Amino acid sequence: MKYQTKLDKTYRPMILAYREFVEGAIRTDHKFLYLCVERNDGYNYSFHFPIYTAPEKREENCRMAERIAKTMLWVVGGYKIYVAGDDTVYEYLKDAYTEKGLRAFDTDFMSGVYEAPFEVIRREVGKMPAPKNCSVQVGGNLDGCRIGFDAGGSDRKVSAVVNGEVVYSEEVVWFPKITADPDYHYNEIMTAMKTAASKMPTVDAIGVSSAGVYVNNRIMVASLFLKVPKDKFEQKVKTMYIDIAKELSREYGKEIPLEVANDGDVTALAGAIDLQDNKVLGIAMGTSEAVGYINENGGLNGWLSELAFVPVDYAKESMVDEWSGDYGCGVKYFSQDAVIKLAELGGYKFDEGLSPAEKLKVVQAMMKNGDPLARQIYEDIGTYLGYTLPFYAMFYGIKHILLLGRVTSGEGGNIIMDRANEILRDEFPEYSFRVEMPDENNRRVGQSIAAASLPATKK
């Protein structure tokens, strides 16, 4: 590892840990472990790699298998994990993915998303599920008068777009993640929609970019509504965007098409539009890490791409995510949480009572003033990114990496990009992709503009 994080002393990149494991296994008497994750309608994703046969290596096998299985689960999504090639690994994963197991959070989350019980299933090597993939076309519609809404965890962004031209954009601070009353969320979103609508002669379509998982425009899981009680979530949250579109449709006397997409997928869509190319992995560093992917056909794979929960640091001493209870996951490396973590590791003491977004602004102000700690924070995040992208590339076919989000604003974003590209060039020459960023304005509001292009208008 040529490049070290100066503030995070224990960082051990997943890609290096995985390669070391594989190389070690290949040098011995080894066999292959086969994993397959299945989601709705039988769509699946398979991966296999060599593992040790020596009994004393069982713990290492199980730990690496668990990290890879978890990665697959949050990249693709699913509620079934098929295992072939090693019974010990199968038993370990089966115990982990239970209501009281090591991965209880993942089990509960995926069961909720796919509305089915979670299963870990043993199979013979020759009887693993046959590949089944999908590609869904989305976005790129710019005709008419459109509202694009981006529901961030710290601020909400909205754009009014008329025939592809942005006529109005705004960002407004809000507090969705600490508010239990869903009426607050509804009123804030409706206010944003009506503000954008007031800048146009009519509304022909509404596109929404929001963190979480969405099925047929329904909100299945979303961190924006963390504090909302489950009964109120079912009553008022699950169809919130649909209800808002219906209210606006009544106001305008016509049916207004709605399309809600995960903010990561909209990030990737913004990148594909900006770059006029496909195979784009978009990463938005904001309240969390939002990731999406536009495939070689210009469509979506139907994957979750919730890489905030994907392990990127193999060190057991790494920071634990409060929500999932797991260590070394992307949210603590590619979000405002990463900035805060590194600042505190560097000895900085934030004033009490500041929100995470306010703490980020403190570091950004330090960066503007040439503070060396602030520069080191962004260099360390760039180091994280440079070593993580090759790990992501094990699962995605990548031609472009596009960065967006609040963390990348200002000079800090350029430092992250430059360090990541330096690592890619020096340490991973087998990959031709490089990190790219849109201009400063699009870094912040690009998602809401891309969101506006999601729905097709009624002809």
Q: What does the pLDDT look like over 160-206, one tens digit per residue? A: 999 989 999 999 999 999 999 999 999 999 999 999 999 999 999 99
Instruction: Give residue 197's pLDDT.
Output: 98
Is this prediction's pTM over 0.95? no
Q: What does the pLDDT look like over 328-377, one tens digit per residue? A: 999 999 999 999 999 999 999 999 999 999 999 999 999 999 999 999 99
Q: What does the pLDDT look like over 119-171, one tens digit per residue? A: 999 999 999 999 999 888 878 888 999 999 999 888 899 999 999 899 999 99
Residue range 134-459, CATH number: 3.30.420.40
Domain ranges in the chain are 14-127, 134-459
Q: Long-range pairs for 225-233 at CB < 8 Å and ≥24 separation?
A: 225/176, 225/182, 225/185, 226/177, 226/323, 227/177, 227/178, 227/179, 227/180, 228/179, 228/180, 228/181, 228/182, 228/185, 229/180, 232/180, 232/182, 233/182
Mean predicted confidence (pLDDT) in 95-117:
94
Q: Which residues of 367-385 are buried (b: 16+ CB within 10 A; e: fewer)?
A: beeeeebbebbbbbbbbbb
Q: What is the mean pLDDT of the chain?
A: 93
**Is it the case that residue 442 has pLDDT exceeding 60?**
no
Instruction: Give residue 253's pLDDT.
Output: 97
Which of the four pLDDT bands, split at 50, 70 and 90, describes residue 449? Answer: confident
Q: What does the pLDDT look like over 250-276, one tens digit per residue? A: 999 999 999 998 888 887 887 787 788
Q: Percent of the chain scored above 90 by pLDDT? A: 79
